């Protein structure tokens, strides 16, 4: 990517109306590969290149939080070979991106049941998290072994324990308190959720957090998703009126 094109493109966006948090359901790697008579894993490899480009673009746009749905709790039901390939790719991605993350002020965070990931992947995740812990320009939040229902359930259990022990009054259980027990406790709710590959569903992603998120579904398969399309979606986002249940005036 060259910086000249960035200089030409960026003025179309109103910097004062950028989303603070973009979340993406990166779908369609398998279909991208099938269309080319390739193994699904080649689709995931190409998808990793898109991840790199989208992280870079998000940082350039000045959006402080990016959450990427990389692996769902339901994705554990895929064939072992595909899971293994995804884990290898994740590890490779983390190692290759660490220098650029440090250079660009990006902190790595994860949400999900990370303890279910293979030990070597967890070690790499912890190493990159520790190395980037003091970066403040942007948070790259990877949803790994993530499920929205599991997250809410885990929060409710934590709250129930506190109530049972007498540390918490049931009347003190508010929306804010529940949000404080989610993986995302330190970040704002997403302003914009993008799903690639045309599927009109949420697939157990951020169920609590997307109550008032603007949704955008594109038919583009994730490996074909580009910075230009990302920019066009942000432009569309800036034209929307977010009412949060109130009247327009
Ligand atoms: C998204 O692509 C990547 C993951 C879910 C890990 P898919 O692998 O779901 O691709 P399709 O939906 O089969 O095309
Ligand atoms: C959603 O994609 C999960 C991720 C992108 C990681 P899926 O391909 O797993 O979702 P479904 O099966 O189409 O709902
Ligand atoms: Mg899919």
Whether residue 25 has its Cβ less than 6 Å from ligand 2 = yes
Mutate to test the pocket of ligand 2, among 68, 73, 75 (most ligand atoms within 8 A of CB): 75
Single out the catalytic residue among 2, 39, 49, 75.
75
Whether residue 135 has its Cβ less than 6 Å from ligand 2 = no
3-state secondary structure 169-232: CHHHCCHHHHHHCCCCCCCCCCCEEEECCCCCCCCCCCCCCCCCCEEEECCCCHHHCCHHHHHH
Contacts of 135 (CB under 8 A, 6+ apart): 101, 102, 105, 106, 107
Regarding beta strands 65-72 and 21-25, do their DSSP bridges make them parallel or antiparallel, or are they unpaired? parallel
Q: Is the pLDDT of residue 2 over 80?
A: no
CA–CA distance, 163 with 157 (Å, rounded to integer): 10
Evaluate whether residue 164 is within a structural domain: no
Q: Give the pLDDT of residue 249.
A: 78
**Beta strands, E only, the chain:** 21-25, 65-72, 106-111, 138-146, 192-195, 214-217
Q: Give the pLDDT of residue 248.
A: 86
What confidence category does residue 11 fall into, taking pLDDT thresholds of 50, 70 and 90?
low
> Which residues span the domain enclosing 84?
18-150+189-236
Into how many domains does the chain fold?
1
List pLDDT tens digits, range 56-110.
999 999 999 999 999 999 999 999 999 999 999 999 999 999 999 999 999 999 9
No. of H helices and E strands in the chain?
A: 8, 6
Here the tokens at position 195 are 């799903």
Q: Give the pLDDT of residue 57.
A: 98
Q: What is the mean pLDDT of residues 119-143?
A: 98
Ligand 1 centre distance from Cα of residue 106 (Å): 26
Atom 1, ligand 2: residue with shortest CA distance: 203
Ligand 3 centre distance from Cα of residue 244 (Å): 30
Q: What is the mean pLDDT of residues 231-246?
A: 95
Evaluate whether residue 220 is within a structural domain: yes
CA–CA distance, 56 with 104 (Å, rounded to integer): 9
| 27 classed as catalytic | yes
Helix (H) or strand (E) holding 31: helix 29-35
Q: Is the pLDDT of residue 148 over 80?
A: yes
Evaluate whether residue 161 is within a structural domain: no
Whether residue 27 has its Cβ less than 6 Å from ligand 1 = yes
How many residues does this entry show for the chain?
249
Evaluate whether residue 179 is within a structural domain: no
List pLDDT tens digits, range 182-236.
999 999 999 999 999 999 999 999 999 999 999 999 999 999 999 999 999 999 9
Q: Give the pLDDT of residue 118.
A: 98
* Helix, strand, or coil (residue 5): helix
Percent over 90 (pLDDT), the chain:
94
Whether residue 28 has its Cβ less than 6 Å from ligand 1 = yes
Evaluate whether residue 241 is within a structural domain: no
What is the pTM assigned to this prediction? 0.95
Query: Residue 88 burial (CB < 10 Å; 0-12/13-18/19+)?
Result: middle
From the list 242, 194, 71, the residue with the least C-alpha distance to 202 is: 194
Q: How far is CA 190 from CA 64, 156, 213, 240, in A?
A: 11, 21, 6, 15
CATH number at residue 220: 3.40.1180.10
Q: What is the mean pLDDT of residues 147-166?
A: 98
Q: What is the mean pLDDT of residues 100-127?
A: 98
């Amino acid at each position: 990517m060259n910086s000249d094109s960035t200089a030409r493109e960026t003025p179309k966006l109103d910097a004062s109306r950028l989303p603070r948090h973009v979340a993406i359901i990166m779908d369609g790697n398998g279909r991208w590969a099938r269309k080319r008579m390739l193994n699904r894993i080649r689709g995931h490899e190409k998808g990793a290149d898109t991840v790199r480009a989208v992280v870079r673009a998000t940082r350039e746009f000045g959006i402080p939080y990016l959450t990427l749905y990389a692996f769902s709790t339901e994705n554990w039901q895929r064939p072992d070979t595909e899971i293994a390939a995804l884990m290898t790719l994740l590890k490779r991605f983390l190692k290759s991106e660490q220098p650029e993350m440090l250079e660009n002020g990006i902190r790595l965070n994860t949400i999900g049941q990370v303890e279910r990931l293979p030990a070597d992947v967890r070690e790499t995740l912890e190493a990159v998290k520790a190395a980037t812990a003091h970066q403040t320009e942007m948070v790259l939040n990877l949803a790994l072994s993530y499920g929205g229902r599991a997250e809410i359930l885990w929060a409710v259990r934590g709250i129930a324990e506190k109530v049972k022990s007498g540390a918490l009054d049931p009347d003190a259980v508010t929306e804010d308190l529940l949000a404080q027990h989610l993986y995302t406790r330190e970040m704002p709710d997403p302003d914009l959720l993008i799903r690639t590959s045309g599927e009109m569903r949420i697939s157990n992603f951020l169920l609590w957090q997307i109550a008032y998120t603007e949704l955008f579904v594109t038919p583009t398969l994730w490996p074909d998703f580009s910075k230009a399309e990302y920019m066009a979606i942000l432009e569309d986002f800036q034209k929307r009126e977010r009412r949060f249940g109130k009247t327009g005036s």
